[in-house]
Structure 1
Amino acid sequence: MGIKKTATMMEVANRANVSIATVARVIHNNGYVSAQKRKLIQQAIEELGYVVPVKETVSVSRNLVGVLTPPDRENPFFSYLPHALGIEANKNGLYVMLRVQQATNQYLQDVVQDFISESVCGIVIVGFEDTLLLDEAKDLLLGCGVPVVFVERTARCYGLNRVLLDGGEGIYLATRHLIEQGHKHFLYIGQNSTNDVDKQRLKGYQNALAEIGIHDPPIVNPFESGTMQAGYDSIKIGLEQWPQTTAVVAWSDLYAVGAMQYCFDTGRRVPQDIAITGFDDIYAPAVVPPLTSVKMPLEEMAQAAIQMIVESRNQTLDFYSKTITLSPKLSVRKSSGM
């Protein structure tokens, strides 16, 4: 029987009964693998005739972290988080290489290969846009030889490092706050999306209102997502359908500010006529009136992501993927009638 020349890294992992990430560590000589597992992997490579392609060969890693973020100019989260990642990387003697590109399965292979060609020591993927991470993309990330961390939108990428924010809890806190202010007629301006982040936020709104006997509460999903104009158009639609509305829970500060602008244009007072809350708390204190908003712990998210990379580099035992979930806080200001 001839030597199998088309073996894959996954087949090597299956033969050695280890993860593909462990195989990658042996191939790239990057990180700790026990002597016993290393022997099994080398034996599987020889038995299967696996040959490392030239593009998988990695030089000694530099103190460089590749950061992929989508080209969203409207949402300040995608500007502020990479900045926070850069600051945290610097604290650990690392530097950030930023790639602005759609964070989707379609572009992931090219982005990762570009990062690896620059000998990065880790990769952070911010705001992954697809609902699910495809198996081939996951295999690529597990086999790239460096730790990979997904932040905030993680596409159910189990087996990879993840830094999550409990957005459902954040929207729940905002809705409960409005309930405690005495409101009974609500509107949620959300995202028409199937990803976990958006579904969790909607669930937080629904759960808070279910506690006071309000089921199937009003919801408007913008036609154009992620912009102030979407918030403006959405509250217009919502108030036409539910004119008794006195409280608006917005998916983001952008939607909230758009809703506030509509109220101003139509002679409605915030918060006297309509109370409004947002989500992000990046420039919420600067609007008029100051916006009550769910604060995203950007510095803590960045710290968690960079520490995962640092710990993986310094690991002296087999490395296991981690998931860290952070809880948000509600910053209460005048827009909700404090």
Structure 2
Amino acid sequence: MAGASALALSVPGLSAPIVQAPMAGVQGAALAAAVSDAGALGSLPCAMLSGDALEAELKKLTELTSKPVNLNFFCHQPQEESEERYARWLELLSPFFREYGLSVEDLPVGAQREPFSEAVAEVVAPFRPAVVSFHFGLPEPGLLARVKSWGGQVWSSATTLEEAIWLQQNGADAVIVQGLEAGGHRGHFLKNDLEGQLPTRELLARCAAKMSLPLIAAGGIATPADVPAYRQGGAAGVQLGSAYLLAEEATTSPLHRQALSNERRCDTAITNLYTGRPARGIVTRLMSSLGLQHEAAPVFPLAANATGALRSAAEKVGDDTFTPLWCGENAEPRNASAASITREFINGWV
């Protein structure tokens, strides 16, 4: 297929177009480097890193591997939250604060996830990554042009055909087709709701019929045996996240690992309670108590200030109520080295 050939040629050094999904909070440079060294494309999630932390991770990455890597950033538009709505959110969570003996006065202030910016570009520029990927659209044209000047590719996630077409028209070199099964944050950006979003295979089919860019399928790809169907359906590559959550190099927390290791991993849902933006994870007590989507949840990423404080207290007593247990549908995470997991999926492609 033309798309598959183009993608393989434009990212040199890959044994197969297998992409490790960037997973903020459960990985660092070690996982990305191990995947790249094994012949796939490792990814480093960068949206939650300060400038100094980002530079440190990039230096570590270059020490660990000389193979191509993908750096992933958010490009959401920061929004202000009204005092009234935030007060309602805190009131909704007040029983939990009392349960864990916490005070709302102790909450952190401000966003914990920043969009891609000139300051971030300054840090990244010397490293000239092979791929820079974005979630929630693309950065403004000037920033996008700067990224392209480094000589690498620009990818971004689409959750609908309309978003895929928009990305193609606005400078993306490849599109990550994110189906409803995918774990973690939804990448939607043209609409704020989930209307019109589809399972991966159906979304891939629609995009393949209309798009001229390489498409990377993401969502519900649990085993190497799943891979051929996506290739035959028009994917130039596949992106895997949940398969790596139990990898030796992952920093997945003990509570998250425990949930992934039993049947709880089969019960996932999309919720906005943890960050203010819809994301798929294993169902927790918080989701069962408040409902999966709540209109009082503050705008992304401000909901995470309160849930993050509760998470810290709850995890100390072995409680994952406030732990975002991100995980995709049909997940079969492997308790193995990242290299062995990667080789399995490479074999599934070739």
Q: TM (normalized to structure 2)?
A: 0.33
Bigger Cα Rg: 1
